[in-house]
Amino acid sequence: MKAVMSLVGSQGIISATEVVLMAAVFCLVFLFIQSLWQHVPQGLKSPPGPRGIPILGNVLELRKDPHLVLTRLSKKYGDVMEVRIGTRPVLVLSGLDTIRQALVKQGEDFMGRPDLYSFRHVTDGQSLTFSPDSGEVWKARRKLAQNALKTFSIAPSPTSSSTCLLEEHVSKEAEYVITKFLQLMEEEKRFDPFRHLVVSVANIICAMCFGKRYDHNDQELLKIVNESEEFGNVAAAGNPADFIPVLQYLPSRAFTLFKDFNKRMIDFMQKILKEHYETYDKNNIRDITDSLIQQCLDKKEGNATTQIPKEKIINLVNDLFGAGFDSVTTALSWSLMYLVTYPNIQKKIQDELDQHIGRERRPRLSDRGSLPYTEAFILEMFRHSSFLPFTIPHSTTRDTVLNGYYIPKDRCVFINQWQVNHDERLWKDPQTFNPERFLNAEGTEVKKVDGEKVQAFGLGKRKCIGEPIARWQVFLFLTTLLQQLEFSVCNGKKVDMTPLYGLSLKHKRCEHFQVKLRYPMKSMS
């Protein structure tokens, strides 16, 4: 009270709002001065980077398309550089060799996650993907989640005649989408494929995680899938509210929608988990959720590290659902955009399908090796669109040195995948969409080394848990669609492929798609 009264002047009392603003400014100045002081061991140096402006740092430069801005800056400052978002320093890594050095060879040093404001709202801060935790318990539970995912999606060998659950689920949903697209063509003469792809992809994940398929008009599922973009808008790398604390107290419609989406996801998962516990049978493990419940209830191993507390299962299921949902939907959506933009490429894929699979059966995962052009197209779609421009931010777990630069513990790290995928040191004419770049001279095989250069799911110990499943789904869904349908857009219309920044780069929705059957529909094996 005395402190407030001391602010009385001849013009009257300073308002409480002014006191708060003065305190906020003081704190920001203090943090700014503190951030300028950093002890660097003798013989080492700090990473270079743009100076930025006091208090705000480089945040104004990064407001629009930060992946492009940081790529331009990397040409000046190098593959290891530092920017400031607010007063917080952020390490930005570019260049394939540098990223591999950090995430693979020095993986333990860079496997942390920063404690960001937005991350705390994802499954109450307990997400495997977003949690700052990276200790032994985290590693063990991540492995359990991976094993559960593999159990219900593992691909059969090329010589096997049996199908896996993933193939069955994808085939069912792809056939549904084909029928739906043809129905829309008959009724409306055009359609937006994304609206239906997003529900079908969600259904595939639901079938694997929960053992059930939802009707495409199920309002609860529709509410989640239609609002999933609200998650990506806030969780994208460089969200100012994660780095400038004062913004967390200002009204934000985007963040309100983000929190609402996360709450809706948890409520959705809790309902399903409750049903699973009520019907659980250890002799009939139906899906991934049952598999995780089994791990929770199994006390035989006697290893607390490998057991999952009941309340943690929902976090693992949520991570697995997220790992295979947005990336697959976005990949398929971009694929269709490229196919109608380059109809000659679409025809090459269909000719390859006709030659190696024919029209008497559906494509299978075991066909991947015999469809090199199709595989090359998918790789080029991942590379050219780079719809995952950054990995989820990393953090250093201890003081370390990278490329001769000193990096302190708890430094937030951005991995610029877009830069790698458009790096002229790696790719000839990187702005050109060209699947042939991944094929050998005869066009009969995919060049594995070049394929491994494409960055989409991260590297090392924090690599996306759902990468294999996502790649398999994209292949199966795309080949099943193209085996039966030919895609185009209405006469006089063009698709707009300008990317919209977020956790994943989306394109503008297009309602002018058309399809036609390549041959009469019939029952397929």
pLDDT of amino acid 435: 97
Are residues 410 and 467 located together in one domain of the fold? yes
Are residues 53 and 14 located together in one domain of the fold? no
What HEC string does 139-202 produce? HHHHHHHHHHHHHCCCCCCCCCCCCCHHHHHHHHHHHHHHHHHHHHHHHHCCECHHHHHHHHHH
512 within a domain of the structure (yes/no): yes
Cα dihedral across residues 327, 329, 335, 337: positive or negative: negative
Helix, strand, coil percentages in the chain from 3-state DSSP, rounded to 5: 50, 10, 40
Cα dihedral across residues 448, 453, 459, 464: positive or negative: negative
523 within a domain of the structure (yes/no): no
Nearby residues of 132 by Cβ (< 8 Å), 6 or more positions away: 112, 113, 114, 115, 119, 395
Q: Work out the average pLDDT over 508-524.
A: 79
pLDDT band at 11 (very low <50, low <70, confident <90, very high): very low
Name the H helices within 211-252. Answer: 219-226, 228-235
Nearby residues of 121 by Cβ (< 8 Å), 6 or more positions away: 258, 259, 262
As a whole number of angstroms, the distance between CA 253 and CA 78 comes to 37
As a whole number of angstroms, the distance between CA 51 and CA 301 comes to 54
Per cent of the chain over pLDDT 90 is: 40
Burial category of 322 from C-beta neighbours within 10 Å (exposed 0-12, middle 13-18, buried 19 and up): buried
Are residues 31 and 115 located together in one domain of the fold? no
Nearby residues of 136 by Cβ (< 8 Å), 6 or more positions away: 305
Q: At residue 20, does pLDDT exceed 50?
A: no
pLDDT of amino acid 9: 38
For all residues of the chain together, what is the average pLDDT? 82
525 within a domain of the structure (yes/no): no
Sheet bearing 88-93, strands edge to edge: 80-85, 88-93, 412-415, 394-395
pLDDT of amino acid 22: 52
State the DSSP string of 327-380.
HHHHHHHHHHHHHHH-HHHHHHHHHHHHHHT-SSS---GGGGGG-HHHHHHHHH
The answer to whether 227 and 261 are in contact (CB under 8 A) is yes
Q: Work out the average pLDDT over 243-271.
A: 79
CATH number for the domain that contains residue 448: 1.10.630.10
pLDDT of amino acid 23: 52
352 within a domain of the structure (yes/no): yes
Phi and psi at 505, nearest 5°, equal -80, 120
Give which of 79, 110, 82 is closest to 95, Cα–Cα. Answer: 79
Q: Which residues are annotated as a binding site?
A: 464
> How many residues are there in the chain?
525
How far from 470 is each of 125, 207, 363, 466, CA to CA, in Å? 24, 15, 16, 6
Amino acid at 158: P
Nearby residues of 148 by Cβ (< 8 Å), 6 or more positions away: 288, 291, 292, 295, 316, 320
Q: Half-sphere exposure of 252 toward its Cβ, with a 13 Å CA cutoff?
A: 20
Q: Work out the average pLDDT over 72-89.
A: 94
Are residues 383 and 244 located together in one domain of the fold? yes
Q: Half-sphere exposure of 227 toward its Cβ, with a 13 Å CA cutoff?
A: 18
pLDDT band at 10 (very low <50, low <70, confident <90, very high): very low
Tens digits of per-residue pLDDT, 340-395?
Answer: 999 999 999 999 999 999 988 899 999 999 999 999 999 999 999 999 999 989 99
524 within a domain of the structure (yes/no): no
Are residues 125 and 159 located together in one domain of the fold? yes
Please count the other Cβ atoms lying within 10 Å of the Cβ belonging to residue 406. Answer: 18
Are residues 244 and 119 located together in one domain of the fold? yes
As a whole number of angstroms, the distance between CA 481 and CA 171 comes to 10
As a whole number of angstroms, the distance between CA 340 and CA 334 comes to 10
Are residues 209 and 81 located together in one domain of the fold? yes
Are residues 342 and 477 located together in one domain of the fold? yes
312 within a domain of the structure (yes/no): yes
Query: Using alpha carbons only, how large is the chain's radius of gyration in Å?
Result: 25
Per cent of the chain over pLDDT 70 is: 83
Are residues 203 and 345 located together in one domain of the fold? yes
Nearby residues of 34 by Cβ (< 8 Å), 6 or more positions away: 87
pLDDT of amino acid 87: 85
Are residues 90 and 9 located together in one domain of the fold? no
| Structural domain total, the chain | 2
Q: Work out the average pLDDT over 296-318.
A: 65
Burial category of 447 from C-beta neighbours within 10 Å (exposed 0-12, middle 13-18, buried 19 and up): middle
Q: Which residues are annotated as a binding site for heme?
A: 464
- Beta-bridged to residue 406, according to DSSP, are 401
522 within a domain of the structure (yes/no): no
Are residues 156 and 10 located together in one domain of the fold? no
Phi and psi at 515, nearest 5°, equal -140, 160
Structure tokens at 66: 């930060």
Are residues 436 and 486 located together in one domain of the fold? yes
Give which of 260, 378, 262, 381 is closest to 322, Cα–Cα. Answer: 262
As a whole number of angstroms, the distance between CA 250 and CA 258 comes to 15
Q: Which domain holds residue 89?
A: 42-517
Q: Work out the average pLDDT over 311-330.
A: 78
pTM: 0.86
Distance between start and end Cα atoms, the chain: 80
Tens digits of per-residue pLDDT, 112-133?
Answer: 998 887 777 776 656 767 777 7
